[in-house]
């Protein structure tokens, strides 16, 4: 018999050099779980820490059998840590949070109820009142605005580490690269559309320093374009490249045809006209035809790769019934 869903809650916590906060965080989570009589597990994913974080996780696990740990040989990033944690979870509800004590375990009971009682697939935390410098809050607002517009998901804080998921969600999705910012988008693409939001308390950082710099916003924007394209055209790249390629080629061809017809008219009329190649429009049309051909070929190649991929017929099945 499968052990999946044998626990009420799985808490997944990626960490990197957070030795000071781990004992306090583990105690805080344990108090909340015991106060609400939840069966639970806590999965600490050490993303290649260079301090004593892993030895502390080992001690915490020895003192509390509900605590488990995974240690990476090197730093792979938050997405990799979450993916490993997701695949190891046993709870019917999975909660993620950061290890820096800026996320409150006291939010867990309400998050749990929103999933179990209200039937949400995913609840994302919203740190409405933040204790971050303006260099972080302003880019974050722009990032969230752009993500809302491109994804169609009305969340105010996509990158909040405090989230709750139905267990089936995290075991059905794949998080890679730096896509942890877009888990709601990935979940929606997989058919989990009941996505909500809850205002959560944001605590000032108590220990250490932030592990993220301004470059994450640039990477985040590029990842947003990537996940948006994959979501819409991952299984049908020709619909994107073929459309724009054909359109560009057709416009370029019309311009070239017009220039050629005009030249032919003047030749028949024995009137002088400058060479077609002396017109800047000719070169614009030529470039459009070349780019259009290249985009069409890119779509054709993408279509062949898509049709040859191992998951070309991979679909999310929510339920099955034996008929007949």
List pLDDT tens digits, range 168-222: 999 988 887 778 888 998 898 888 999 999 999 888 777 766 655 556 666 666 6
| β-bridge pairing 163-166 and 122-126 | antiparallel
Phi, psi values for residue 193, rounded to 5°: -100, -10
pLDDT, average across residues 125-154: 76
pTM: 0.73
| pLDDT for position 147 | 78
264 or 16, which is more confident? 16
Distance CA 219, CA 159 (A): 13
Q: Considering only the top CATH level, what class is 7-233?
A: alpha beta
Residue 186 three-state SS: helix
- What gap in Å lies between CA 306 and CA 61, rounded to an integer? 44
Paired with 57 in beta bridges are none
Question: What pLDDT score does 192 carry?
Answer: 92
Look at 38-47, 82-91, 313-322 and tell me which has the smallest mean pLDDT: 313-322
- To which residue do tokens 């969600």 refer? 169
pLDDT digits (tens, 9 = 90+) for 268-305: 887 777 777 778 888 899 999 999 999 888 888 877 77
């Amino acid at each position: 018999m499968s052990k999946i869903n044998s626990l009420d809650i799985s808490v997944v916590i990626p960490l990197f050099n957070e030795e000071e906060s781990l004992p306090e965080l583990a105690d805080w989570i344990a108090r909340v779980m015991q106060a609400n009589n939840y069966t639970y597990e806590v999965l600490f994913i050490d993303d290649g820490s260079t301090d004593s974080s892993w030895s502390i996780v080992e001690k915490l696990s020895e003192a509390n059998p509900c605590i488990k740990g995974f240690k990476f040989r090197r730093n792979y990033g938050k997405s990799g840590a979450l993916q490993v944690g997701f695949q190891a979870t046993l709870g019917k509800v999975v909660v993620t949070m950061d290890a820096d004590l800026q996320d409150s375990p006291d939010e867990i009971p309400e998050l749990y109820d929103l999933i179990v009682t209200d039937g949400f697939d995913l609840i994302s935390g919203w740190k409405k009142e933040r204790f971050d410098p303006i260099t972080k809050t302003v880019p974050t607002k722009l990032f969230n605005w752009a993500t809302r517009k491109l994804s169609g998901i009305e969340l105010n804080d996509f990158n909040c580490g405090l989230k709750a998921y139905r267990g089936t969600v995290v075991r059905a999705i794949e998080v890679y690269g730096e896509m942890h910012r877009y888990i709601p988008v990935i979940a929606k693409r997989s058919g989990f559309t009941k996505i909500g939001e809850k205002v959560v308390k944001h605590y000032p950082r108590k220990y250490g320093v932030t592990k993220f710099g301004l470059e994450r916003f640039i990477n985040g924007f590029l990842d947003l374009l990537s996940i948006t394209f994959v979501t819409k055209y991952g299984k049908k790249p020709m619909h994107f490249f073929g459309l724009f390629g054909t359109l560009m080629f057709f416009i370029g061809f019309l311009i070239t045809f017009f220039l050629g017809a005009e030249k032919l008219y003047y030749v028949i009329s024995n009137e002088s006209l400058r060479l077609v190649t002396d017109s800047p429009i000719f070169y614009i049309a030529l470039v459009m035809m070349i780019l259009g051909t290249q985009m069409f070929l890119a779509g054709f190649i993408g279509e062949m790769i898509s049709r040859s991929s191992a998951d070309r017929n991979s679909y999310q099945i929510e339920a099955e019934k034996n008929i007949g």
